[in-house]
Structure 1
Amino acid sequence: MTPTDALAGGIPPRPVVNRLPRYAAGKPPVAVDGLASYKLSSNENPLPPLPAVVDAIARQTDFNRYPDPLSSRLRATLAEFLNVPGDDIVTGAGSLGALNQILATFAGQNDDGKADEVIYAWRSFEAYPISVGLAGAESVRIPVTADGRHDLDAMAAAVSARTKVILLCTPNNPTGPALTTVETERFIRSVPANVVVVIDEAYQEFVRAEDAVDGIALYRKYPNVVVLRTFSKAHGLAGLRVGYSVSGPELTQHLRVAATPFAVSQIAEKAAMVSVQNYDQVVERVQTLVDERSRVMAGLRDLGWRVPDAQGNFVWLELGGESYRFAELAGERALSVRAFPGEGVRVSIGEPEANTRFLDLCADYTKASERS
C-alpha cells in the first residue's frame, strides 16, 4: 500500500472536531450595480485607524526580528492607562486569543478523563463553543432571556463541581445588552471563589448605560475575575489581532505558561500603543458610531421593531425563521448582514449611508409584512 492509498480515506481529526460548530465569519457584500457596497456583518469599525497609528505602522521596519513575547512596552502603556500593575496584563492575538489562553490554562480534560465545564449565555459569541471544545472542556449553554440578556440566576444554578470557567459577554454579542454592576457583583459572590469568571468586554468603549459593569473595577475586588479587552473594535485594529486579559497574580502566574509566544507582532504592539496614547481621538470616533447607533435604534423603534438594548456597535433583530430571507434582501441592496438562521440577524453600525439604507430596508420589510 502506497502512502497515497493509506490517505485515501482521509486522516481523521480528534473526535471533538467533528462535533464542533464551524465559525462563520461575516461575508462581504455582493456588488449591486449603481450602489456602494457596505459590510455590516462582522462588527468591524468602519473607520480606519487614527492617522498617528497609520504613520507608526508605516515606519515599522524590524520584521526580520521576533517580537517581544511579553509585549512589554504595550503592557507598560496599558498599565498606566488602566492604572493596573503591568504584571496583571497578558496579551494575546485579539481578545479571542487571550480567551483561548485562559481556557487552555483553567479548563479542559483532567487526568481522570473527565472534562471540566464552562458556562456561558447563549446565544452569545459564536466562537465560545469552538474554543471550549478545542480546550477539551464541555460547554454548558444557558439561554438568554427574552430581551437578550444573560440569565444570571440560571447560570449560577448551573454551576457544578466540574465548573471551572464562566464567560460573561458584556455587551452580549450578538444580542446587545450590557450587564449591570449590581447584578454582576451579586453573581460573582454567588459562585465558588475557585471558579474563574471571565468578563468579556470587547465592546466596552461603546457602552453608554450608566449602570453598566466595569470589569476592571471588579478585577480589583475579586481574585477570580479576568477581564478581556481588544483593540479590534473601538481602535479599528481588527486586522492586526491584538487583545489582552487583566487578572490578579493568582491567575496571571499560570496564564503566562499557556500564553502563545510571539502572538502579538511588533507592528500590532506599536499600533496599539500609539492608539492608547491618542485615546481622546479614539473616544471621539467611537462617539460618532454611538450617535449612529442611537439614530438606528430610534429609527427601528419608530417603525415598530422591538429590539434589545444595543450597547455594542451592532443591533439585533430577532427574526427567527425569517433571518436568512432578511439577509438575502439586504444583499439585494448591497448590504451584508450576519444572519443566525432560525434566530435573528445582527447588523453592525457602519457608515451613515449604510445605516440609512438598512433603515430603509427595515421600513420596506415592515410594510411588506403588514400586507402579507
Structure 2
Amino acid sequence: MTLHQRPSLQEVPAYKQGKPAAAGASKLSSNESPHTPLPSVLASIQEGLATIHRYPSIAAPELTGALSQQFDIPAEHITLGAGSVEVAAQLIHALAAEGDEVMYAWRSFEAYPSLVRIAGATPVEVPLNAEHCHDLPAMLAAITEKTRLIFICNPNNPTGTVVQAEALDEFINAVPRNVLVVVDEAYVHFDRSERADGVALFRKYPHVAVLHTFSKAYGLAGLRVGYAISPLEVAANLRKVAVPFGVSDLAQRAAVASLAAIEELSVRIEEVVTQRERMYEGLAAAGYPVVKSQANFVWVDAGEATELLEAKLSAGGVVVRAFPSEGLRISSGTAEDVDRVLAALTVKEATA
C-alpha cells in the first residue's frame, strides 16, 4: 500500500534553481548581486552569531521600524517573509481559497503558477503583449467574480520590461476594490524609467500591496528576507499564515545594516546598471533580439534558437537561465562577467 499523495501536486513543478557555474565561469543564471556583502553588514551578522541559540523576533521591530521610517508608513502595514517569494505565497494563502483565481502575466516570475496551485487556487495567465510587457487591457478583461489577486511584476522577470506610472494607475483604478493588486518590485532599484511607484499606489488605493526583497540590490540572497506593504486587514492575515520564525535574526540584522548603508549600496547598484546596459548594447549590436531591461538582467527573445545560444555562451564560460524554445535571461554581473558574454558572442559571429 502506498501513501496517499495530494493529486493536485502532480501539476506543480519543482522550482529550478539557476545552474551553478564551474570554477572560472560566470554564473549569470540567478539574478544575484555580483558583490560580496558590505563590511558593515558582515559585522552585524558576526555580532549576531553569539545568540543563534535563541529564536528570532517574529515581530522584527528593528527592521520593520527602519522600513516604516524609510517609507513613512506605519509599521503595522509591513510584514516579513523569507524573501519576497515567500511573502507572495502568504498573500495567496491569505486571500485565495480553493477555486478562487489568481492572475499574473505570462511569462513572468516562474514561481507564481506553483505558488497558486500549492494554495489550491486557480492560476490565470495572461500573455505578455508583443513588446514583452504586461497586457493590462487583457488582464482587466480576464477579471471574474472569482479573481482575488493580480500580480504585477514590475520590472517583469524575466523580460525586464516595466509598466509605466500612468498605465498602472489607470489599471488599478479600474480593478474592483475587492481584488488585491500586488505590485512585485523585486527589481525596482535597477529601474531608470518613468516607472510606476508601488508604494505611492499603495498610499493612493485601498486594494494595493507591494513586495520588496533584500535578495537583489542589497545582495542578501543567501539570507532570505523580503517584505510586503499591505492594507492593515491583509497584513494581519499575512502574520497568521506566515511560517513562525521564518526570517532569521541574522537576516534581520543584515537587512537593518543594509538599509543604513544605502549610499554604499547605491554605488554597487549603478555598476550593475552600467554593466546591464553594456551587455544589452553588445547583444543588440551582434544582432540578437534582446529586450530593453530595467532590472538586473536582460532577456533575449531567441525562440527556437535558445538552446544554440545557451550552448555558445556556455562554451564561452557563461551560465545563463534558459527557457527552452522561448528565450534566455542573462544576469548583469561584473565587468569581467560581461566581457565574457561579449567574447562568447564574438565567437558565435566568427563561426556563423
Fold shared per TM-score above 0.5:
yes
Q: Which digits, 9 at most, give the CA deviation of each residue in 1:90-146, with x for residues without a partner?
A: 00110011111101100121xxxxx00011000000000000000111111011112
Q: 2:213–2:226: 8 Å Cα contact kept in structure 1?
A: yes
Distance in 2, Cα, partners of 1:176 & 1:12: 41
Correspondence for 2:170 = 186
Please state if 1:24 is matched with 2:12: no
Shift of the alpha carbon at 1:20? 1.5
Correspondence for 2:62 = 73
Instruction: Map 1:47-66 onto structure 2 (within 5 A).
Output: 47-60=35-48, 61-66=50-55
Structure with the greater alpha carbon radius of gyration: 1
Distance in 2, Cα, partners of 1:353 & 1:238: 21
Correspondence for 1:89 = 78
Correspondence for 1:212 = 195
Structure 2 CA distance for partners of 1:342 and 1:73, relative to 1, 3 Å: same
Correspondence for 2:300 = 317
Q: Which digits, 9 at most, give the CA deviation of each residue in 1:218-262, with x for residues without a partner?
A: 000111100000000000000000000001213212222222211
Distance in 2, Cα, partners of 1:260 & 1:218: 28
Distance in 1, Cα, partners of 2:316 & 2:348: 13
Correspondence for 1:171 = 155
Instruction: Map 1:194-343 onto structure 2 (within 5 A).
Output: 194-209=178-193, 211-343=194-326
The one-letter code matched in structure 2 to 1:268 is: A
Correspondence for 2:34 = 46
Aligned to 1:239, what secondary structure does the other structure show?
coil
Distance in 2, Cα, partners of 1:70 & 1:85: 14
Q: Which digits, 9 at most, give the CA deviation of each residue in 1:199-236, with x for residues without a partner?
A: 00000111000x10110000001111000000000000
Distance in 2, Cα, partners of 1:363 & 1:193: 52
Percent identical: 42
The runs of 5 or more residues in structure 1 that have no matched partner are: 1-5, 110-114
The runs of 5 or more residues in structure 2 that have no matched partner are: none
Distance in 1, Cα, partners of 2:335 & 2:41: 24
2:137 to 144, 153, 156: 153
Structure 2 CA distance for partners of 1:350 and 1:84, relative to 1, 3 Å: same
The one-letter code matched in structure 2 to 1:51 is: P
Aligned to 1:142, what secondary structure does the other structure show?
strand
The one-letter code matched in structure 2 to 1:13 is: Q
Correspondence for 1:361 = 344
TM-score normalised according to structure 1 size: 0.92
The one-letter code matched in structure 2 to 1:132 is: V
Shift of the alpha carbon at 1:298? 1.7
Structure 2 CA distance for partners of 1:170 and 1:355, relative to 1, 3 Å: same
Greater alpha carbon shift after TM alignment, 323-332 vs 346-355: 323-332
The one-letter code matched in structure 1 to 2:30 is: S
TM-score normalised according to structure 2 size: 0.97
Aligned to 1:132, what secondary structure does the other structure show?
helix
Distance in 2, Cα, partners of 1:366 & 1:100: 44
Aligned to 2:243, what secondary structure does the other structure show?
coil
Shift of the alpha carbon at 1:44? 0.4
Distance in 2, Cα, partners of 1:165 & 1:220: 18
Shift of the alpha carbon at 1:284? 1.1
**Across the two proteins, how many residue pairs are aligned to each other?**
351
The one-letter code matched in structure 1 to 2:109 is: F
Greater alpha carbon shift after TM alignment, 298-307 vs 341-350: 298-307
Instruction: Map 1:103-122 onto structure 2 (within 5 A).
Output: 103-109=92-98, 115-122=99-106
The one-letter code matched in structure 1 to 2:140 is: A
Aligned to 1:118, what secondary structure does the other structure show?
strand
Q: 1:21–1:129: 8 Å Cα contact kept in structure 2?
A: no
The one-letter code matched in structure 1 to 2:33 is: N
Distance in 1, Cα, partners of 2:16 & 2:294: 23
Aligned to 1:238, what secondary structure does the other structure show?
coil
Greater alpha carbon shift after TM alignment, 188-197 vs 293-302: 293-302
